[in-house]
Amino acid sequence: MTLSEFYSSLGESLDEVLERLRMESRVAKYLGLFLNDPSFNELKAAFAGNDAKTAFRAAHTLKGVAANLGLNKLSASSSELTEDLRPEVFTANSQALLEKVEADYVAVVAGIKQLEQ
Amino acid sequence: MDEKRPLILIVDDVAMNRALLSDVLSDKYNIIEAENGNEALLILREKTSEISLVLLDMVMPEKDGMEVLAIMNKNGWINEIPVIMISGETAHALIEGAYMLGVTDFIGRPFDEMVLKNRVSNTIRLYQKQKNLSDLVLNQIYEKTRNNSMMVTMLSHIVEFRNGESGMHVLHINTITEMLLRELLHRSNKYQINKNDIGIICTASSMHDIGKITISDEILNKPGKLTPEEFNIMKGHTVNCAQMLNAVPVGKDEPLMKYAYEICRWHHERWDGRGYPDGLKGDEIPIAAQIVSIADVYDALTSERCYKHAFTHEKALEMIHNNECGVFNPLLIECLDAIADRLVTALQTFDWSKQADKDFYDIADAMMNDQNHPIYNQAFRQLIDERKKCHFFEYSLNGILFEYTFTPSVIKLSSKASQKLGLPRTIIDEYKPNEEAKDVAENLEKIRKIIRRKSTPKDKPILIKQTFNIDGQSTPCNVKALQIWTKGSNDVPVLSAVYGHIDISKQG
């Protein structure tokens, strides 16, 4: 799979990313690093531990990282969760929003793994 | 050229974010990274004057970006180090809060590489320009104050030398005036003088006798007693000086001119109205003139003149108390008594280069703390702190230390070095020790030899074994000397200073 195909498969655009980050090699490198970024796991752990403050921070980070890499769907769902958690308490919506983030995250990770093969 | 690359501090808790920023910027900048606010503050404290820009994340564990900004404000760093905040944050109030805390710019995520690079380089350029300007201003003030006080001292000396007096009179008057003034302000708020006026009055005091330039040599340097006519002409130096100052076309409204006029005209008036030229009484005599007149009398009494021997400090005080040189303001006599002990030491150890430095610090400090036109200069503040630290260590260690600067060519000794080697604390090139004191002359020659020692630029101190004449004995010593090199034209290193430590070898 090419980088362009990866972005298309997620419904995103490589061109938009390249406009900002210039080099395909740079984009590929940081997609690789994204697999090691702990933010998503921290988010899950914070939900499990009932720690809304850490959950907010992890969602915030995920939103930023995803946005930089042009993973706009993941960034948007993380952003919704971030705003939901901003008061640093879990709401009735939190769980549903997390599930949406998880779905987007899993899709991205699956894509990156295919890309690396 | 590596050291010319600006240093950027990247503060972000996410490794990937730091890596990406560093990736984009590392071709033109040196990068240092911090994982959280606390780490960032430690680095900022240590490298305040090295960091050209901070790229700061907003949401972080430990201390977040806003807390870092608050502390940067508290320490004044924000005035010197520009901060660009980079965050995915979109909450309007938070972004506005960051601007209120002094961030230069806010870059949202996702960021565009080209925009980031340009904002970074523009911000660094702008701040560098501002810093260069404030350095320029500080250097100018430094030069100006040094030159001003040097010029006033030189001009006053010209009058003194014609008088056949030692050049020390003007410096003594300066010191006594300052000490009396500080004591007076400490004791009473009766007189309308603020702290900033102290330096001006001291400078003006140097000019108290410039009117003597109008008195002929025959009268001025007459060894015997003056005839009544001659004394009348002599008295004219006060009014003549006042006329000279009135004729100066500039500076009419300057405090320096006002004080100089008061001092020149009225430093021979006396509290009981029996002085000259105008017979003013009590506080009709401006306080600056009252102070200089008592300082003048004290120094005249304790110095040798063409018509008299020097009296001791104690005798001089006694004579002033007994109104033998006219009556003075009782409050000022109290002040003189209060400073009497310190005065003797102060006059013996006077160092006029320190005087100029002190004026400079006062002015620079006033400018930097001026609410309307503050000047920020972390490097300068650090310099002041370093000097204080240096003085403190020098004082505490009580070591035998010397330092030499090439321009101006001056050797300075620590007080212990001065005592052990028998040399003054400040030695200029023209200085010649007393012919009879061979030991001292030898010591000076040895110090000069160490200073002139040829070597290649390196950062390590050189070690030299050298004997010095200490307490009348040839004493083996180990000398450690550090040479400081600066880049001259064509990148040729030039020796700019030498610092030395003399260690007396353990006997037997």
For range B128-135, the mean pLDDT:
83
The Cα B485–Cα B456 span in angstroms is 9
Count chain A–chain B contacts defined by CB atoms under 8 A: 55
CB contact set of B227 (below 8 Å; sequence gap of 6+): none
pLDDT per residue as tens digits for the range B30-84: 999 999 999 999 999 888 888 999 999 998 888 899 999 999 998 888 888 999 9
Closest Cα in chain A to B13: A61
Greater confidence (B337 vs B497) lies with B337
Task: Give the distance, in angstroms, between the CA of residue B20 and the centroid of all CA atoms in the same chain.
Answer: 47
pLDDT per residue as tens digits for the range A92-107: 999 999 999 999 999 9
Question: CA A33 → CA A10, A19, A65, A109, distances in Å?
Answer: 18, 20, 11, 11
User: Residue B31: what pLDDT?
Assistant: 94
The Cα B415–Cα B21 span in angstroms is 53
pLDDT at B374 over 60: no
- Average model confidence (pLDDT) across chain A: 93
pLDDT at B166 over 60: no
> Which of helix, strand or coil describes residue B223?
coil
The token pair that represents B205 in the structure block: 């005091």
Instruction: State whether the Cα torsion B347-B349-B353-B357 is positive or negative.
Output: negative
Closest Cα in chain B to A16: B112
Structural domains for chain A: 3-116 (1.20.120.160)
Closest Cα in chain A, distance from residue B459 (Å) = 42
User: Residue B482: what pLDDT?
Assistant: 84
pLDDT per residue as tens digits for the range B385-408: 666 676 677 667 777 888 888 766
Contacts of A68 in chain B (CB under 8 A): 17, 20, 109-111
Greater confidence (A71 vs B491) lies with A71
For range B170-197, the mean pLDDT:
88
Structural domains for chain B: 2-135 (3.40.50.2300), 163-350 (1.10.3210.10), 398-504 (3.30.450)
User: Residue B345: what pLDDT?
Assistant: 82
CB atoms within 10 A of CB B462: 15
Please check whether residue B111 touches A, CB under 8 A: yes
Minimum mean pLDDT among B15-19, B137-141, B338-342, B464-468: which range? Answer: B137-141
Residue numbers of A between 51 and 110 with CB closer than 8 Å to B: 57, 60-61, 63-65, 67-70, 75, 79, 86
For range B348-369, the mean pLDDT:
59
ipTM field: 0.81
Closest Cα in chain A to B94: A86
CB contact under 8 A, A64 and B87: yes
Closest CB to B20 among A19, A30, A36: A30
Placement of tokens 């100018």 in the chain: B140
The Cα A8–Cα A14 span in angstroms is 8
Please check whether residue A19 touches B, CB under 8 A: yes
The token pair that represents B146 in the structure block: 């040094």
Q: According to the 3-state scheme, what is the secondary structure of B167-219?
A: CHHHHHHHHHHHHHHHHHHHHCCCCCCCHHHHHHHHHHHCCCCHHHHHCCHHH
Q: By the 8 A CB rule, do A40 and A108 touch?
A: no
Query: What's the pLDDT band for B1 if we cut at 50, 70, 90?
Result: very low
pLDDT per residue as tens digits for the range B273-325: 999 999 999 999 999 999 999 999 999 999 877 667 889 999 999 999 999 99
CB contact under 8 A, A37 and B89: no
The token pair that represents B196 in the structure block: 């900033």
pLDDT per residue as tens digits for the range B77-109: 888 899 999 998 888 899 999 999 999 999 998
Each residue of A65-97: b (16+ CB within 10 Å) or e? bbbbbbbbbbbbbbbbbbbbbeeeebeeebeeb
Q: What is the DSSP string of B6-73?
A: PEEEEE-S-HHHHHHHHHHHTTTSEEEEESSHHHHHHHHHHTTTTEEEEEE-SS-SSS-HHHHHHHHH
CB atoms within 10 A of CB B124: 19
Closest CB to A65 among B17, B90, B91: B17
Whats the size of chain A, residue-wise?
117
Contacts of A79 in chain B (CB under 8 A): 88, 90
Closest Cα in chain B, distance from residue A96 (Å) = 22
CB contact under 8 A, B109 and A21: no
Please check whether residue A34 touches B, CB under 8 A: yes
pLDDT per residue as tens digits for the range B217-263: 888 888 778 899 999 999 999 999 898 888 888 777 888 889 999 99
User: Residue B286: what pLDDT?
Assistant: 96
Residue from B59, B107, B111 to probe the interface with A (highest A Cβ count within 10 Å): B59
pLDDT at B158 over 80: no
Q: By the 8 A CB rule, do B256 and B200 touch?
A: yes
User: pTM of the entire structure?
Assistant: 0.54
Minimum mean pLDDT among B64-73, B309-318, B336-345, B448-457: which range? Answer: B448-457
Question: CA A62 → CA A79, A80, A92, B20, B237, distances in Å?
Answer: 8, 11, 21, 15, 84
User: Residue B350: what pLDDT?
Assistant: 58
Contacts of B61 in chain A (CB under 8 A): 57
Query: What's the pLDDT band for B2 if we cut at 50, 70, 90?
Result: very low
Contacts of B59 in chain A (CB under 8 A): 57, 60-61
Region of B373 please: left (phi>0), alpha (psi -120 to 50) or beta. Answer: beta
Query: What's the pLDDT band for B453 if we cut at 50, 70, 90?
Result: confident
Closest Cα in chain A to B18: A65
Closest CB to B14 among A61, A67, A79: A61
Below-70 pLDDT ranges, chain A:
none
Query: What's the pLDDT band for B363 if we cut at 50, 70, 90?
Result: low
Please check whether residue A30 touches B, CB under 8 A: yes
User: Residue B506: what pLDDT?
Assistant: 66
Per DSSP, chain A holds a count of helices (H) and strands (E) of: 7, 0
Closest CB to A34 among B16, B111, B114: B16
